């Protein structure tokens, strides 16, 4: 009996460690990517092909690294964290929250990686080819994908309610998740519909997202039921 308890405890500790490392890596990948301060931040959501080409000129490597860190690496780390936390949630008896976290989190991670790959394709193949129609279309697709991705993240954040109820995360983190879901709803509309006047909402939801992911990964735990 004691051996089984030790095995279960070891498994939970391992999952917690994986979730924590992945969450911290997710936050760091975003910080590194944004610290590159590329011209992409100066572009409007519906920028023209010429504006996109001019902004990326001479900054291809920096923009590529930014896409790599904020979308590809971040997407992979999110997937790992979600798998670990969802497993902890299931062990704690929060089956519905575990499923919600797993479905929305993994779908979001997939979309993030797709966005990163599209960004790299745009930088190294579409822009050098000079096809103005495709340049704007690919850029718009990347931004539009961000809309549904943010809504999925909002749904993922709402899993906080069930996770907190089963002791997987602290109660206070549930309220952060709800605030994050609301913020992501608005920023998702801005990006999904390419509404420049509301693009600033992504800064609010972005900060809340990094805090929520980091806090969930660090605090996630489970008491088997």
105-145 residue pLDDT tens: 999 999 999 999 999 999 999 999 888 889 999 999 999 99
Cα dihedral value 155, 158, 160, 162, nearest 10: -110
Mean pLDDT of the chain: 91
For 148-197, how does the pLDDT look when each residue is reduced to its tens digit (9 = 90+)?
Answer: 999 999 999 999 999 999 999 999 999 999 999 999 999 999 999 999 99
Q: Show the tokens assigned to 208.
A: 């809340």
Q: What is the mean pLDDT of residues 209-223?
A: 93
For 91-101, how does the pLDDT look when each residue is reduced to its tens digit (9 = 90+)?
Answer: 999 999 999 99
d(CA 132, CA 130): 6
Name the CA radius of gyration of the chain, rounded: 19
Q: How far is CA 172 from the centre of its chain?
A: 21
Contacts of 156 (CB under 8 A, 6+ apart): 82, 100, 101, 104, 105, 108
10 burial class (0-12, 13-18, 19+ CB within 10 angstroms)?
Answer: exposed
Tokens 């308890």 correspond to 5
pTM: 0.92
What pLDDT is stored for residue 9 in this prediction? 53
What pLDDT is stored for residue 103 in this prediction? 98
């Amino acid at each position: 009996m004691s051996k089984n308890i030790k095995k279960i405890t070891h498994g939970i500790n391992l999952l917690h460690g994986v979730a924590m490392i992945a969450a911290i890596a997710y936050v760091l990948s975003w910080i590194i990517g944004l610290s590159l301060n590329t011209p992409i931040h100066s572009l409007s959501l519906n920028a023209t092909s010429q504006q996109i080409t001019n902004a990326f000129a001479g900054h291809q490597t920096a923009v590529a690294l930014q896409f790599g860190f904020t979308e590809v690496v971040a997407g992979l780390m999110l997937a790992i964290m979600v798998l670990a936390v969802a497993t902890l949630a299931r062990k704690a008896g929060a089956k519905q929250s575990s499923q919600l976290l797993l479905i929305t989190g993994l779908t979001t991670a997939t979309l993030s990686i797709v966005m990163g790959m599209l960004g790299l394709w745009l930088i190294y193949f579409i822009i050098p080819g000079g096809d103005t129609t495709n340049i704007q279309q690919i850029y718009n697709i990347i931004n539009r994908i961000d809309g549904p991705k943010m809504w999925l993240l909002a749904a993922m954040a709402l899993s906080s309610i069930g996770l907190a109820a089963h002791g997987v995360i602290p109660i206070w983190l549930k309220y952060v998740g709800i605030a994050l879901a609301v913020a992501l709803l608005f920023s998702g509309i801005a990006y999904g519909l390419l509404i420049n006047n509301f693009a600033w909402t992504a800064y609010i939801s972005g900060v809340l997202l990094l805090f929520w992911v980091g806090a969930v990964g660090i605090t996630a735990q489970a008491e088997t039921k």
